[in-house]
Structure 1
Amino acid sequence: MLNPHFRYSAFLVSFLSCWFLLQVFWFPSTKTNNPVPKPQYPAATTTVSAVTATTKCNGRVSVYVYNLPAEFNLGLLEDCSHLNVYTNMCPHVANHGLGQPLNNMDHGSTDSNPNPWFATHQFIAEMIFHARVENHPCRTWDPSEANLFYVPFYGGLHVSSKFREANHTIRDALAVRLADYLQSQPTWRNNHGKDHFIALGRTSWDFMRTDSGPDFGANCLLNLPCVKNMSVLTVERNPWKGINQHGIPYPSYFHPSTSHQMLTWQNMMRQSNRPHLFSFIGAPRKGVDKAAIRDEMIKQCGESSRCKLVKCDRGNPKCYDPAEILGVMRESQFCLQAPGDSFTRRSTFDSILSGCIPVFFSRHTAYTQYAWFLPPEESKYSVYMDEQGDESKRIEEELLKIPKEEVERMRARVIDMIPRLTYVHPNASDIGFEDAVDVALEALAKHVRDKIQDDNNNAAIAESM
């Protein structure tokens, strides 16, 4: 009779052997040096690089997320119908800020790869950013390990609910309470907030009200002394006074959950037929400067057989349909990007998503805004026409001067840029490329590290004198 210990050992060896064989031959492997699934088109056309959680963080990025009182973020959503004086935001704050799903878009979704398209509001980046960081591989629950401290304040949603509030004290109250809350935290006092950051879904002008300047419904958030110590991520920074402000992309409509969805879309944009030399989607504007450049664009586009014009006045429904907007851009080689109510436009990121080369008329529409996200070689992916130049200059003639080979190189560069300007679905993780939040956290960690080191060096020098 066999010894019971021997029988147990033999059974254990047999069980482990069977388990190993099942892992090798039956279950798909989850350990790989390249998490990007093999694309369904030639590998030479891929642009997504393999990025794992380890390489994303790797000691460089460790972000702690403040658990703020609800009044500063999620509590605001309880009255979502009054978050914007112009529209009901309830449909837009759904799905972590992605909005309502779009079912009329081209995409490669399956049961395992859900629809990546949503009717995303242009001023909702702060919610998407929050949801993404909550599930980010570089998040830490231990503040002693963090080199970044994220303050998830829905400042843009709050300020847009107070645009018609005449009393400045009421308009500023929540921002002031946030500042008081932060300065009472031990994590704040370590570096006086220099390692803290906030992400805002509206332009910086909505948070920089001064007693002498125009009102525009803005509050005082970015003028508060403690917030000036922080880094501020915003869809449009002040190019002159926003020393602590950093531009982040406006969210578009595409929020993939897998690298396959990204690769499939990029390949579609490479193969897209583009019969229009250029296009313009927009409405006329009031005001001398804005009206002049917009009116000239609309005039020239309307007169050209090579331009597709979508005029967004009188409630044109095409201007509110993402499928229509991206459809026009997908059929265009160049997309005109005039300044809107402010310098920047969400349309810039819609055009890049569509593989359409942006044409800028102000350097502040992109070049001075999104240094972390756009290549430094501006002419490699865009065209610049000085808005202060000759207004009679024919846009069509200038674009026709660009050689066909150069246009193709520019379009390839634009399509290569899509991943880092996209906000992936908040539930996605380790999808194989760096999205807008990854890029922002990496750049922000370096910025904060350099800033604190410079301040410490300056303090040491002052003490030695």
Structure 2
Amino acid sequence: MHLGSKDLAARDALSRDVVDWLLQRPEWRAMGGRDHFLVSGRGTWDFIVSPDAVGWGNALMTFPAILNATPRGDGYTRKSTFDTILAGCIPVFFHPVSAYLQYIWHLPRDHRSYSVFIPHGDVVERNASIEEVLSRIPPAKVARMRERVIRLIPTVLYRDPAAKGVTFKDAFDVALERVIDRVAKRRRAAAEGREYVDSVDGKFSWKYDLAQDREKMLAPHEFDPYINT
């Protein structure tokens, strides 16, 4: 099995062969693997080995991923959302509040530029197959989305305060700049004898935050069913 080989390609060859073979099996294709499970022992010792490590094991469980499903957990957003971005994977969301309506400061307003949205109702009611939706995305678009995700990484992490020579803005920097900007606008408005409004109050405020346009705010939006129910 070459588990102790110094040749990394040889060490991982059997794992890749198993994955390729399994994907071609009619039993797997019948339900896209949803009725399969993998039983393994000594997972950390045998199958979670750094690709540049020398010694026993292979990297079966650490093969690179391109897209990662991030369904809701106890709340709308799970830790896996940020783990996905930090890993350079394209997040797949099933509810707009999981990211789009919460992290306006840190994530692009155009959610299609870095993520995939599949309505959870379509999945639950079997009107959409996650695998089929993802497989229809052209490779060129996937590449562009991954590049956008990679550029987002600094904005969703906290850098070590002791780090030297770091010039990028992390999540704290982004939030602090927006807070300072908001305070400055409030002060200018007060000096001019008027009240500054950050966004539109009420149930349509999320539309204004996404579009920053009062006219578009009143127009129908794809996320209306999730917010108005």
Please give the TM-score of this superposition, normalised by the length of structure 1: 0.29
Answer whether contact 2:123 2:129 (CA < 8 A) is retained: no
Match in the other structure for 2:194: 458
Match among 319, 323, 335 for residue 68 of structure 2:
335
* 1:329 shift after superposition: 7.7
Match in the other structure for 1:395: 130
Answer whether contact 1:358 1:383 (CA < 8 A) is retained: yes
Q: Measure, in 1, the Cα distance between the counterparts of 2:49 and 2:103.
A: 26
Matched-pair identity in %: 37
Match in the other structure for 2:111: 378
Larger-gyration structure (1/2): 1
Match in the other structure for 2:32: 304
Match in the other structure for 2:147: 412
Query: Is the aligned partner of 1:366 residue 2:66?
Result: no
Q: Show CA shifts across 1:99-135 (max 9, x none).
A: xxxxxxxxxxxxxxxxxxxxxxxxxxxxxxxxxxxxx
Answer whether contact 2:159 2:170 (CA < 8 A) is retained: yes
Q: Measure, in 2, the Cα distance between the counterparts of 1:379 and 1:344.
A: 18
* 1:328 shift after superposition: 5.8
Query: Is the aligned partner of 1:446 residue 2:181?
Result: yes
Answer whether contact 1:329 1:335 (CA < 8 A) is retained: no
More strand by share: 1
Q: Measure, in 1, the Cα distance between the counterparts of 2:158 and 2:86.
A: 11
Three-state SS of the structure 1 residue aligned to 2:158 is: coil
Q: Measure, in 1, the Cα distance between the counterparts of 2:61 and 2:154.
A: 21
* 1:355 shift after superposition: 0.8
Answer whether contact 1:361 1:387 (CA < 8 A) is retained: yes
Q: Which runs of 4+ in 1 moved over 2 A?
A: 303-306, 327-330, 388-391, 451-459
Q: Measure, in 1, the Cα distance between the counterparts of 2:189 and 2:62.
A: 44
Answer whether contact 2:94 2:117 (CA < 8 A) is retained: yes
Q: Show CA shifts across 1:159-210 (max 9, x none).
A: xxxxxxxxxxxxxxxxxxxxxxxxxxxxxxxxxxxxxxxxxxxxxxxxxxxx
* 1:422 shift after superposition: 1.5
**CA 1:436–1:429: 2 relative to 1, 3 Å:** farther
Paired letter, 1:421 = V
RMSD between superposed Cα atoms in Å: 3.5
* 1:388 shift after superposition: 2.8
Three-state SS of the structure 2 residue aligned to 1:388 is: helix
Three-state SS of the structure 2 residue aligned to 1:424 is: coil
Q: Measure, in 1, the Cα distance between the counterparts of 2:89 and 2:101.
A: 20
Answer whether contact 1:357 1:410 (CA < 8 A) is retained: yes
Pairing 1:15-414 to 2, within 5 Å after superposition = 303-305=31-33, 331-389=64-122, 391=124, 392=126, 393-414=128-149
Match in the other structure for 2:222: none
Match in the other structure for 1:74: none
Paired letter, 2:32 = S
* 1:416 shift after superposition: 1.1
Please give the TM-score of this superposition, normalised by the length of structure 2: 0.56
Answer whether contact 2:123 2:130 (CA < 8 A) is retained: no
* 1:406 shift after superposition: 0.4
* 1:417 shift after superposition: 0.9
Match among 147, 169, 177 for residue 434 of structure 1:
169
Query: Which structure is higher in RCO with an 8 Å CA cutoff and minimum separation 6?
Result: 1
Alignment coverage as a number of residue pairs: 150
Q: Measure, in 1, the Cα distance between the counterparts of 2:194 and 2:49.
A: 53
Three-state SS of the structure 1 residue aligned to 2:67 is: strand
Q: Measure, in 2, the Cα distance between the counterparts of 1:401 and 1:377.
A: 20
Answer whether contact 1:329 1:354 (CA < 8 A) is retained: no
**CA 1:330–1:352: 2 relative to 1, 3 Å:** farther
* Residue segments in structure 1 that go unaligned for 5+ positions in a row: 1-275, 277-299, 311-316, 460-465
Answer whether contact 1:339 1:345 (CA < 8 A) is retained: yes
* 1:387 shift after superposition: 1.6
Q: Measure, in 2, the Cα distance between the counterparts of 1:309 and 1:452.
A: 59
Q: Measure, in 2, the Cα distance between the counterparts of 1:357 and 1:346.
A: 15
**CA 1:433–1:400: 2 relative to 1, 3 Å:** same
Q: Show CA shifts across 1:50-88 (max 9, x none).
A: xxxxxxxxxxxxxxxxxxxxxxxxxxxxxxxxxxxxxxx
* Residue segments in structure 2 that go unaligned for 5+ positions in a row: 1-18, 20-27, 51-59, 196-229
Q: Measure, in 1, the Cα distance between the counterparts of 2:186 and 2:122.
A: 38
* 1:305 shift after superposition: 4.5
* 1:438 shift after superposition: 1.3
Three-state SS of the structure 1 residue aligned to 2:120 is: coil
* 1:364 shift after superposition: 0.5
Answer whether contact 1:352 1:414 (CA < 8 A) is retained: yes
